Amino acid sequence: MPIPRFPRAAPRRVFLPPARTLLALTALAMFAGCAHVAPYEREYLSRRSMDTNQREQAEQRFWAHVSEAREGAGGAGQSAGGGCGCN
Amino acid sequence: MQLARRLHVALTLLLLLTPSGVAADELTGTWTGQLRGNMHYFWERSTRVVLPEGGVQLESPDGLRLGADLLVDVITSASIAFAGSSEDALFTEFRYEPQLSIGKEFRLDRAKLDLTALARYSTENDYTSYSGGGIARLALNQDNTVLGVTVVGIHDEIRASNNAGFRETLDGWTAGVTFEQVLSRTTVAVLGYQIGALKGFLGNAYRRVLRDGAPVGESPPRARTRHTAYGRLMTYVPPIDGAVHLLVRAYTDTWDMLAINPEVRFYKEFGDFVMARLRYRYYAQNDAGFFQDVYAADWPGAMTADPKLRAFQAHLLGLRVDVDTPFLDGSFLDFASDSSIYLSVDRNFTGISYGAALVGTAGGVLRF
């Protein structure tokens, strides 16, 4: 079976370039002033199911380590290296 | 040797799970804090990982936070990548990772600024990693808008236990921004972008690729720039006492990799103490531009046999249950009445054997 000399004939278009991402962030920032929920209106926002970052922190950190070792897009600087070729 | 390893693990667990002697009393205006402990288990056809971790965080009356954490990564593998191209050896490795952090929230005129600095060290017999960085969060508009900036730098030193002359380094940095916005009384959105650059040895010192039929050391490119964009939409649904979180992550890098990673999480609260989470995560990526199953003798560029650099898809299903413990108030376990414990189980399905895993995590936080 012939082995291709180069795997790619031409560079592919990046579907989410940084400039577009920054544009999306800027667009959302423009809406920042439109919504204002006062502290006494936050009954729902303060529920356990809406405030999960702290309680899921350890689990997410472990998953970052797992994905770093098992997925090509994993990690991206989230966790320290290991001798398993995780980089 | 096996007994020594087990004893090693048992002693480490004991150290991590033993509560410290710190006595804190919030009412007297002295230090408060929390003890946390977690046990992670990863099962894959050729790999088992047991990862206990524990930590303590103290907070001074004026809001200074000090944190210290330690995790131990116990990896047992049967892998040809480490033993050579034809053997299938079983071995166990230990990795230790202590981390220190310090942070404080500053009250500004109409905003709150939270600054955190952290340093991490990771060591095992053939790999040492140093990393440090900072996180800044600025809350505006009565916490309706939160802006975040993260900067992390790393320096890794790589060795090979079967080759005393092998010495490599890897240096890198990551910078990220996040934007969190309350959209209504029930909905919050988060957007983020992260860029990272790595330079140095980005392969595995033991892994071999087939070049013209013969195994040789892999040699991926020595630089990689990574872009990650992500978003999260969280909305509370009052009639069901629960919330739906939609997450998406898109990734690309200079190795010609693209990946997309949507996820949906459904949370259901049961009374005041119990909460369950059901989640589904999809992951898809293409192959790295230089990835080949077999390389020709005159292949001019980078080579790798890393299975995570080939195209694949994965589906993950997970269940998690959290229990808060205010019902212990007034009992003989009153000291634990501001605590929480959890258990989660995830199953990852992939089209390849690599990464098809069962993951279990359990842990808890004791606040004082």
Q: How far apart are CA B144 and CA B182, in angstroms?
A: 5
Mean pLDDT for B193-207 is: 93
- Bridge-based pairing of strands B258-270 and B145-160 is unpaired
Could you tell me the two tokens for B189? 């959105």
Q: How far apart are CA B116 and CA B190, in angstroms?
A: 20
DSSP characters over B300-355: -S-B---GGGS-EEEEEEEEEEEEE-GGGTTSTTGGGTTEEEEEEEEEEEESSSTT
Contact B79, B47 (CB under 8 A): yes
pLDDT tens digits, A42-82: 999 999 999 999 899 999 999 888 888 889 998 654 444 44
pLDDT tens digits, A5-45: 434 434 444 445 566 666 666 666 665 555 789 999 999 99
CATH annotation of B183-193+223-368? 2.40.160
| pLDDT for res B184 | 94
| B120·A38 Cβ contact <8 A | no
Residue A32 has its nearest CB partner, among B141, B309, B361, at B141
Least Cα distance to A59 among B355, B122, B42, B118 occurs for: B42
| pLDDT for res A56 | 94
Q: How far apart are CA B265 and CA B269, in angstroms?
A: 13
Q: Residue window 253-282, chain B: list those with CB within 8 Å of chain A.
A: 253, 255-259, 261, 267-269, 275, 277
Mean pLDDT for B117-129 is: 95
pLDDT tens digits, B293-321: 999 999 988 999 999 999 999 999 999 99
Q: Which of helix, strand or coil describes residue B19? A: coil
Q: How far apart are CA A66 and CA A57, in angstroms?
A: 14
| pLDDT for res A32 | 55
Contact B197, B225 (CB under 8 A): yes
CB-based contacts of B217: which residues, under 8 Å, 6+ apart?
A: B203, B205, B207, B208, B209
pLDDT tens digits, B229-238: 999 999 999 9
Whole-angstrom CA distances from B301 to A64, B271, B292 are 30, 60, 11
CB-based contacts of A53: which residues, under 8 Å, 6+ apart?
A: none
| pLDDT for res A8 | 46
pLDDT tens digits, B22-56: 444 445 778 899 999 999 999 998 889 999 999 99
Largest CA distance in chain B: 75
pLDDT tens digits, B168-185: 999 999 999 999 999 999
Confidence of residue B270 (pLDDT cuts 50, 70, 90): very high
Q: What is the 3-state secondary structure of B149-208?
A: EEEEEEEEEEEECCEEEEEEEEEEEEEEEEEEEECCCCEEEEEEEEEEEEEECCCCCCCE
Is the pLDDT assigned to residue B285 strictly greater than 50? yes
Q: Residue window 10-39, chain A: list those with CB within 8 Å of chain B.
A: 11-12, 14-18, 21-22, 24-25, 28-29, 31-33, 35-39
Min mean pLDDT across B43-52, B188-197, B346-355 is at: B346-355
Is the pLDDT assigned to residue B19 strictly greater than 70? no
Q: Is the dihedral of CA A49, A55, A56, A59 positive or negative?
A: negative
Q: Which of helix, strand or coil describes residue A23? A: helix
The whole-angstrom distance between residue B326's C-alpha and the CA centroid of its chain comes to 29
Is the pLDDT assigned to residue B198 strictly greater than 90? yes
CA angle A28, A33, A36 (to 5 degrees): 115
Nearest CA in chain A to B307: A70
Q: Is the dihedral of CA B263, B268, B269, B270 positive or negative?
A: negative
Closest CA–CA distance from residue B316 to any residue of chain A (Å) = 12
Contact A58, B38 (CB under 8 A): yes
Confidence of residue B195 (pLDDT cuts 50, 70, 90): very high
Confidence of residue B77 (pLDDT cuts 50, 70, 90): confident
Q: Which of helix, strand or coil describes residue A17? A: coil
Whole-angstrom CA distances from B223 to B122, B227, B254, B255, B302 are 22, 14, 8, 9, 11
Q: How far apart are CA B116 and CA B114, in angstroms?
A: 7
- Bridge-based pairing of strands B339-350 and B312-324 is antiparallel
Name the DSSP letter for residue B240: G
E strand residue ranges, B271-311: 274-285
Residue A49 has its nearest CB partner, among B181, B267, B298, at B267
Could you tell me the two tokens for B125? 């017999």
Could you tell me the two tokens for B116? 């955190």
Closest CA–CA distance from residue A56 to any residue of chain B (Å) = 9
| pLDDT for res B90 | 75
The neighbouring-strand residues paired with B90 are B78
Q: Where are the domains of chain B?
A: 1-19+30-95, 183-193+223-368
| pLDDT for res B29 | 76
Mean pLDDT for B325-340 is: 90
Confidence of residue B86 (pLDDT cuts 50, 70, 90): very low
Q: Residue window 45-74, chain B: list those with CB within 8 Å of chain A.
A: 51, 53, 73
Is the pLDDT assigned to residue B78 strictly greater than 80? no
Confidence of residue B351 (pLDDT cuts 50, 70, 90): confident
Q: How far apart are CA B141 and CA B119, in angstroms?
A: 31
Share of chain B above pLDDT 70, in %: 89
Q: What is the pTM of this model?
A: 0.84
Mean pLDDT for B203-231 is: 93
| pLDDT for res B151 | 96
| pLDDT for res A84 | 42
Mean pLDDT for B155-163 is: 93
- Per the prediction, chain B carries an average pLDDT of 89
Nearest CA in chain A to B253: A73
| pLDDT for res A33 | 54
Q: Does B207 touch chain A (CB under 8 A)?
A: yes
Q: How far apart are CA A25 and CA A19, in angstroms?
A: 10
